[in-house]
Amino acid sequence: MKLIILGSGTCVPSLKRNAPGYYLEAGGFQILVDCGSGTLLQLERAGKSYKSIDAVFITHRHPDHFADLMPLIQALLATPKFKREKDLFIVTPCGFISYYEKAIASILGKPKDFSIQLIEIEDKLELGSFNIFTAETVHSTDSISYRFEHGDKAIVFTGDADYDQGIVELSIKADLLIADCSFPDLMKAKGHLTSKECGLVAKRAGVKKLLLSHLYPADIPDIERVREARDVFDGDVLLAEDLMEMEY
């Protein structure tokens, strides 16, 4: 699996950290996990094309996690000298299809040359070369985490999440846990993990590597979150940076 961090930030505009978005590829199947504002430009900067994306996975219906979904579809429909023919899969929590029909399809219409396959995932799914599992998270009424398995490797994206046993169980023995590390410990906010809580999830799940992402601006340097996570987790801890690449 190839992973590129397209956006390690949040809804707060930042020249350093784009809104949430991740590129994941395995077996020639290319997906986005979340696609906040600016994700399409980040794809270009990473040397990947929006034209090749097979599926978009959305963690929840907050704008910073899917704002570029409509621009993606519009680009696929309107790029000169390009005709998309393969289906585009959009995988979402329950309740998103109704929103899509009202807010996106009502404006862009239905593609003539390819199909948009909307899937409201409830538990697990096989798509492309991935086996995908989910868990509800403590954040919003529709928020979920994703676990992507390919061969004997597993990567987990918590999405926006507070601490609970569900994300621990979803993350068991994962090779990489990409965690919502919105704030350092002294700035705890309901519905989000702190640095130490990220470390606690990683420890209790027995993951191999922890990547801290979804970083809100704070009064202390971002790197301090790594130290706080390491207070409880003795495995590898990294701080996400935009356009960082990893292979599994």
Active-site positions? 64
Token pair in block for residue 29: 């199947």
How many Cβ atoms sit within 10 Å of the Cβ of residue 128?
18
Widest Cα–Cα separation across the chain: 54
Beta bridge partners of residue 25, listed in sequence order: 2, 30
d(CA 112, CA 215): 39
Beta bridge partners of residue 238, listed in sequence order: 211
Beta strands in 27-137 (DSSP E): 29-35, 55-57, 88-92, 116-120, 124-127, 130-136
